[in-house]
Chains A and B, each alone.
Chain A
Amino acid sequence: MLEIRNIVKQYAAHRALDDVSLYVPEGKIFGLLGPNGAGKTSLIRIINQITAPDSGEIFFNNQPLSSQHIGAIGYLPEERGLYKKMKVGEQMIYLARLKGLSHSDARTRLNYWFDKLEIGSWWDKRIEDLSKGMQQKVQFVATVLHEPQLIILDEPFSGFDPVNAQVIQDEILELNEKGATIIYSTHRMETVEELCDNIALINKSKKVLDGSVKEIKKQYNSQTYLIDYQGPLLPDGLLDNASQFNIIAHTSHQDETQLKIKLAETVTLNQAIHHLLDKIQITQIKEIIPSIHDIFIEKVSQSSVTHA
């Protein structure tokens, strides 16, 4: 869908993007993560052709990205904005026509969206007369009205109450199911795991991590497990010859006892269980999977250390 190769963007003394390459697969939700000032907005602006990179190439459906792709991209910037004095319907049609839609097409699709989100009564209202949340909804419609193949959402949930955030999230998923590729830029890690198939992490102008969420989690597998068992805490012989793992923590609650272990390198879970089997009555084993949030924090602090 979108292939970014070796993008460099220099602003005077500041290098906003340093040799960044990404691949956004078709029909997926792609999470673009990174702390403030990492270069996410610079990258998004380059994809939107708002600014041009100093070097590097971008391919959209295997064609070099050009102005003919503008109509195929929908962009919701982090800083929202609409013409305050303009009426909702008129403004939506204007924005859709700037993306290349005809007046009548824009009108039909707008009616569809306004019905769907139950905001039809807003047609003749001025933007300034709507609440902030309502404005956000309108702007979301403006972003997707021209049915773009690629939708770029920069913090799409900020400013929404939980109910409306859910409405928008459902709409995003539905658009994705219908075939739209989505680039989702955010700090909100919990939604990343829920929504994204693939992610890329940018820090200090460089890409530090990318891949599918599953693979990344596997890669960052901490080899840590929670083992529930019945019986007394630390029965005799539990730690005899226990070179396969370290016990990080152990807790006891009524007759349920829990162990947290970290496997030694090259040791499989089976080997560890084998060692434990004849010593304790295992009721449950659960792998502790690092959250994207943890990986994010770890990666960012790591690169900060190496830069310092």
Chain B
Amino acid sequence: MHKIALIIQREYLTRVRKRSFLLTTFLVPLFFIGMYVGIIFLTKKSFDETHAVVYIIDQEGTIAPKLKSTKNITYIHSNKALQEQLSTLKDEEASNTSILVVPKDFLSSPNVEFLAANKPNVTTQNEIKSNLSDIIRDFKYQKLGINIDSLHNIDTTVAINAKEVTADGETKDSNTEIAMGIALALSILVYISLFLYGSQVMRGIIEEKSNRIIEVIISSVKPFQLMMGKIIGIGLVGLTQFVLWIVLSFMLAGVASTFFVSKAELGEQVIGSKMMESNGEQIAQSGSSLNGISPEAWAMIQSVNFTEIIVCFFIFFLGGYLIYSALFAAVGSAVDSETEASQFTMPITMPLLLTYALSFGVLMNDPHGTVATWLSFIPFTSPIAMLVRIPFGVPLWQIVVSALLLIAGFIFTTWVAARIYRVGILMYGKKPSYKELLKWFRYKS
């Protein structure tokens, strides 16, 4: 046991101390945060571009209070004369500022003047047009003696609240899109990391073999100890990386969101100060849209059980890693170089590749269907299949059974791999055939 610990220690430390490890550990979360920031930045930019500030010179006198600021337009009632206001238009370099002149006889002949420093934005014009039309329509309804409020009540929008009924009969909010997004991310993450760490095990073994240090090591420890030490050591490297990623991502996300929220609030204050007549609710709405996430979406995200997902991720990543790294170890022991290895890595990673491909189709569209359920039980496919299903809600007994099968699968593959490994590491020369691998497997120790 002591010797396995030494091997684990070496495998772990030599990898963790590598520059490439530090680089990927710190750059990957930065990359994701960068994407997050980029999306917010782009949203904010497009918001700035489409948002217009419109000063209203209301010669008619009743129109300005009826124009309520919208998501895209902030209406400001100006008491200044037209000439005076025009000069502010020139002073203010803001390209999105414009002036709306409502004439005295607006209600009888609906023509307005729209003055902007740049070419007036068509979308803004259309919105102003529809806002003004509404006012005229309401005015006409009123003249005809129609109650506007009851008229508005006739217009109805239907909202669908999707609820998921759990086995206990409880209902909970469910959002298929968010579940799909998480499932997709998990599928990609597990697929890539199983490949990444599995092939690291293989490369480590090929290195020991081609270095010829293998014979020195196995004169001190049993081949099985060396193989398991390597698998566990590299597995711990993977876990360290994930834990660091999770911690760093939360930290960076925290920093980024406080930074952006405060900036957004600042922006509101600037806009707000310009507003002479403002509607508090609308500010709040435009403020939250700055963050790119609506309050409903936040509620959805918060409804996702991250603890369950993270715990399951670690269980199924580890199980899958142990199974596949054992297979990779067997391949590494059988060949002399990495180029020779591809012939064997292809078939052993087929189930993984297949499940990965299916995760974008069958698994995600029908996460509780027959195919998905079966694949989430088979140890070779369950690491991806089960994780894809988890965001959609999987009964606990299925998770437990799948995890137990995964452990059984791991014990089996390790046993098979160790039998090939102990012979393979001492074999040099020509690439073995499958028949030879079978022969090695049958050798007495």
Residues of A within 8 A of B (CB): 12, 45, 48-52, 54, 67, 70, 73, 75, 77, 79-86, 94-95, 97-99, 139, 142
Contacts and interface: CB of A to CB of B under 8 A. Distances in A.
A95 B216 CA distance: 8
Contacts of A12: 439
Contacts of A54: 444
Interface stretch (B121-129, B152-160, B187-195, B218-226): B218-226
Interface residues of B, number: 23
B368 interface: no
Contact of A75 (B10, B219, B426, B444): B219
Nearest to B428: A79
B14 interface: yes
A99 to B, nearest CB: 5
Contacts of B222: 67
Contacts of B208: 81, 83
B213 interface: yes
Contact of B216 (A45, A70, A77, A86): A77
A48 B6 CA distance: 20
B363 to A, nearest CB: 41
B426 A95 contact: no
A45 B426 contact: yes
Nearest to B13: A90
A94 B439 CA distance: 34
B216 A51 contact: no
A73 B218 CA distance: 12
Given A85-B14, A98-B220, A50 B215 contact: yes
A80 B212 contact: yes
Contacts of A85: 14
B206 to A, nearest CB: 13
B101 interface: no
A50 B426 contact: yes
B220 A99 contact: yes
Contact of B211 (A45, A70, A73, A83): A83
Contact of B14 (A70, A80, A86, A142): A86
A52 B213 CA distance: 20
Task: Please indicate which of the listed interface residues B213, B218, B219 has the most CB atoms of chain A within 10 Å of its own CB.
Answer: B219
Contacts of A52: 444-445
Residue of A51, A67, A142 ringed by the most chain B CB atoms within 10 A: A51
B218 A50 contact: yes
Given A85-B14, A86-B14, A48 B211 contact: no
